[in-house]
Amino acid sequence: MAKDGGTKPCNDLTNIGIERISSLPDDIKAHILSFLSTKKAVQTCILSKRWHDAWAYFPVLKVSQYEFRDDDQRQCMDKFIRFVNGVWNNRKTSCLDIFECYCFDSDRHGHFVEWLGHVAALMPRVIVFDVNITTFLHLPQSSVFSSASLQNLKLHFHAPGTIIKPESINLPSLTVLELVSVDLNDDLAQKLFWGCPALESLVLRWCDLGMSDITSGILKTLNIDHCWLTRKLHISCPALVSLSIRTVDINTDISLKNMTSLANADIMLHNYYYDQSILRSLSNATSLKLRGCLHSMKQLEKDIPNCRTFNNLKILEIGKWDMTCNFDLIACFLKNSPYLQKLYLQLGSHGHTEGQPRQEAKRVLSKLDYVELVKISGGNKVYSNKLVKILRRHIKNIGHLLIL
């Protein structure tokens, strides 16, 4: 600062305009540029003679057809293919840590299979393959389904019922698998669970599930989202910690068994059925969300006689509760959750009540000493107020009551 309080002008202009990136160690440059897409990384490297070819050693490759957008989609895809092929032809034979590919074209399957073969040979740790494939995709033995190094594999195909048929699966280090729009039958499922002995996290989204079992002694996270089931699905995972089943369309059952480690469960009861043991299977959860329509909630009521004590349950959320004059399900949880701290009730848009809860409910209602938070949302004001009166008869003290 100058003596008069102003800003002191800079007299040393010798360093202005000097390019300092080239002086950085190669591993630092590679790390910085790894945050860019491969196209931008190549363009950046051209700016300096010293690291003109540095991109060829980068441990991260991120290629996207969206960077080659053109009015003519075929020209766009042609440019993208030439670029990716050029990357493979000029890349040095160093190991690859992460490969990400995003493509919205759907008629160049041969190139996709070839690229996956290149990737597998470079011992990657993470692969994200997000492409629009609408038909059968045959993956040879040299594909990404045979890799000793792969730990995280995400295959997003964006077309319902994409069929992938690897000759075999050998992924001994894989811990995370995410499949989108895949036809998953018993043959593929069996290969996956046998060929991925370390698998801990499985995400299935928009998949056709024609398999009968998800059985694993080490799986910790299971997410089934917007899938179609064509046969009864048995899920038996004693090490499972987190389970999410949302918006599944089926005409059959889901059976939950051996959920002894389950801590967090988010179940959407919509247009499908569970066998009458779901509450028993979820009894170890600390956080439980149950959501669905009137019909699905009625189905869940049938499991009340099998309900066990929820000794670990701290947070309970019941969504779209739309049962006129029926408090049985909530009463069951109040009776069997002695350590419940937070209760969230989302009422259905058609919910209303007339008269008192049914006699069956009165036999299961029980006084809880204290619930930290009760939050009620949706429905109409009359229904909400009557529900509050019922809750107060069966909870001695409510710390905070919110009605939205």
**Which segment, 93-107, 167-181, 256-270, is predicted with the most confidence on average?**
167-181
- CA–CA distance, 67 with 84 (Å, rounded to integer): 12
Percent of the chain scoring above 70 in pLDDT: 73
Residue with the larger pLDDT of the pair 357 and 144: 144
The pLDDT score that the predictor gives to residue 141 is 59
Residue with the larger pLDDT of the pair 46 and 1: 46
The pLDDT score that the predictor gives to residue 140 is 62
Say if 281 falls within a structural domain. Answer: no
Q: What is the mean pLDDT of residues 25-53?
A: 70
Q: How far is CA 49 from CA 21, 36, 159, 343, in A?
A: 12, 19, 44, 63
Q: What is the pTM of this model?
A: 0.83
Q: What is the mean pLDDT of residues 290-316?
A: 78
Residue with the larger pLDDT of the pair 243 and 73: 243
Write down which residue in 80, 100, 117 finishes a domain. Answer: 80
Half-sphere exposure for 332 (CA within 13 Å, toward CB): 17
Q: Residue 60 is encoded by which pair of tokens?
A: 């991260």
Say if 139 falls within a structural domain. Answer: no
Say if 289 falls within a structural domain. Answer: no
Residue 149 clears pLDDT 90, i.e. is over it: yes
Say if 300 falls within a structural domain. Answer: no
Residue 380 clears pLDDT 90, i.e. is over it: no
User: pLDDT band for position 100 (50/70/90)?
Assistant: very high
Range of the domain at 35: 21-80
Say if 69 falls within a structural domain. Answer: yes
Residue 39 clears pLDDT 70, i.e. is over it: yes
Cα-Cα-Cα-Cα dihedral sign, residues 227, 230, 232, 236: negative
Least confident of 6-15, 78-87, 388-397: 6-15
User: pLDDT band for position 293 (50/70/90)?
Assistant: low
Do 194 and 219 meet the contact criterion of CB atoms below 8 Å apart?
no
Mean per-residue pLDDT of the chain: 80
Least confident of 65-69, 108-112, 205-209: 108-112
Q: What is the mean pLDDT of residues 259-269?
A: 91
Say if 345 falls within a structural domain. Answer: yes
The pLDDT score that the predictor gives to residue 252 is 66
Say if 28 falls within a structural domain. Answer: yes
Write down which residue in 80, 96, 125 finishes a domain. Answer: 80
The pLDDT score that the predictor gives to residue 356 is 44
Write down which residue in 31, 61, 80 finishes a domain. Answer: 80
The pLDDT score that the predictor gives to residue 354 is 41
Least confident of 63-72, 273-282, 351-360, 385-394: 351-360
Q: Which letter does DSSP use for residue 154 in this model? A: E
Number of domains making up the chain:
2
Do 41 and 21 meet the contact criterion of CB atoms below 8 Å apart?
no
| 274-283 pLDDT, tens digit each | 666 788 889 9
Hey, which bits of 84-229 come out as E strands?
98-103, 126-131, 137-139, 152-156, 164-166, 176-180, 183-184, 201-205, 208-209, 213-215, 221-225, 228-229
Instruction: Tell me the sheet residues that pair with 126.
Output: 98, 152
| Segments in 261-370 forming alpha helices (H) | 278-281, 294-301, 328-336, 359-362
The pLDDT score that the predictor gives to residue 174 is 97
| 337-366 pLDDT, tens digit each | 999 999 998 876 554 444 444 444 444 445
Nearest to 119 by CA among 142, 86, 90, 152: 142
Type of residue found at 138: H
Q: What is the mean pLDDT of residues 154-181?
A: 88
Residue 195 clears pLDDT 70, i.e. is over it: yes
Say if 291 falls within a structural domain. Answer: no
Residue with the larger pLDDT of the pair 139 and 14: 139
Q: How far apart are the first and last CA of the chain?
A: 56
What does residue 345 show for φ and ψ, rounded to 5 degrees?
Answer: -120, 120
Q: What is the mean pLDDT of residues 323-342?
A: 79
Least confident of 41-45, 196-200, 359-363: 359-363
Residue 151 clears pLDDT 80, i.e. is over it: yes
**Which segment, 89-103, 105-119, 169-183, is predicted with the most confidence on average?**
169-183
The pLDDT score that the predictor gives to residue 359 is 42
Residue 297 clears pLDDT 90, i.e. is over it: no
| Segments in 58-125 forming alpha helices (H) | 73-90, 109-121
Residue 2 clears pLDDT 80, i.e. is over it: no
The pLDDT score that the predictor gives to residue 364 is 41
Least confident of 156-170, 328-342, 348-362: 348-362
Type of residue found at 243: L
The pLDDT score that the predictor gives to residue 176 is 98
Q: How far is CA 35 from CA 41, 81, 305, in A?
A: 9, 22, 55
Do 201 and 175 meet the contact criterion of CB atoms below 8 Å apart?
yes
Q: What is the mean pLDDT of residues 270-299?
A: 76
Q: Which letter does DSSP use for residue 197 in this model? A: T
**Which segment, 33-42, 107-116, 217-226, is predicted with the most confidence on average?**
217-226
